[in-house]
């Protein structure tokens, strides 16, 4: 009696896996209609993002594009609480976007441009000092709050402001701080700190392009008020 041929049964796709596959296909078909927050949620959480991934995505989507690009995986984790693995996926996606498409970040060419990038200082309830980091073409690389509280030349040292520029490889900086009182007029301490910062920045080769004092409805630019002679960004 001849031996019977035995044919292996095809492996059945588990219902849960099939459902995930169906959801992924359905999600992919509607990508063009999704908001930026929804697209970021898919990068972070796949076809069916968790509530936490959606929360992260809405927070990141509110950031300016230049700020998102400058965060990197470490910034997403430290500043926005994104878990390490999805943060790496999102940072990798941004890196690919930078390689595939030209950098369209606008150059900071005026106090108004810089003030727009430091806008959150206007409504801060307490005084804080931030540094805006710029590349060789004066395009924004990121910003960082370097001190909290009233500016005081004996307390705020140039190294506090310049350290992020050196760490991130910035070619120039703009410093901004707020006056919660609503009066943007510089104090004596503001002027002393500005002089010290400008001199220190020139020594290390990372020029201070401006120091802005921002309030809810006004601003003061040391560059405009004192007629700083600035070189044009690198061509």
pTM > 0.75: yes or no: no
Q: Which CATH number fits domain 111-226: 3.40.140.10, 3.90.76.10, 3.40.50.300, 3.40.50.970?
A: 3.40.140.10
Q: Residue 232: which pLDDT band, with cuts at 50, 70 and 90?
A: very low
Residue 21, pLDDT > 70, answer no
pLDDT of residue 60: 85
Provide mean pLDDT across the span 113-130.
91
Residue 3, pLDDT > 80, answer no
Q: Residue 180: which pLDDT band, with cuts at 50, 70 and 90?
A: very high
Q: Find the length of the chain.
A: 235
Greater model confidence, 60 or 223: 223
Lowest mean pLDDT among 22-31, 34-43, 92-101, 165-174: 22-31
SS3 210: strand
> In terms of Cα–Cα distance, which of 67, 71, 47, 158 is closest to 119?
67
Tell me the β-bridge partners of 211: 175
High-pLDDT (> 70) share of the chain, %:
79
* Helix (H), strand (E) at residue 213: strand 208-214
Domain ranges of the chain: 33-100, 111-226
pLDDT of residue 210: 96
Residue 152, pLDDT > 60, answer yes
Provide mean pLDDT across the span 83-89.
89
């Amino acid at each position: 009696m001849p031996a019977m041929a035995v044919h292996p049964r095809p492996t059945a796709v588990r219902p849960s896996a099939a459902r995930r596959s169906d959801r992924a296909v359905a999600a992919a078909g509607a990508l063009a209609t999704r908001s930026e927050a929804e697209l970021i949620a898919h990068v972070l959480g796949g076809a069916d993002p968790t509530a936490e991934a959606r929360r992260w995505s809405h927070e990141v989507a509110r950031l300016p594009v230049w700020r998102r690009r400058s965060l990197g995986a470490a910034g997403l984790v430290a500043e926005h609480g994104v878990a390490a693995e999805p943060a790496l996926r999102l940072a990798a996606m941004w890196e690919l976007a930078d390689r595939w498409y030209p950098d369209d970040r606008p150059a900071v060419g005026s106090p108004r441009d810089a003030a727009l990038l430091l806008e959150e200082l206007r409504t801060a309830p307490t005084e804080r000092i931030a540094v805006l980091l710029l590349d060789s073409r004066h395009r924004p690389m990121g910003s960082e709050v370097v001190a909290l509280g009233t500016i005081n030349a004996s307390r705020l040292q140039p190294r506090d402001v310049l350290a992020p520029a050196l760490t991130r490889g910035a070619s120039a900086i703009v410093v901004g701080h707020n006056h919660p009182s609503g009066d943007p007029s510089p104090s004596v301490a503001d002027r002393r700190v500005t002089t010290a910062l400008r001199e220190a920045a020139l020594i290390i080769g990372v020029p201070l392009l401006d120091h802005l004092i921002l309030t809810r409805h006004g601003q003061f630019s040391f560059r405009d008020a004192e007629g700083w002679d600035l070189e044009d960004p690198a061509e």
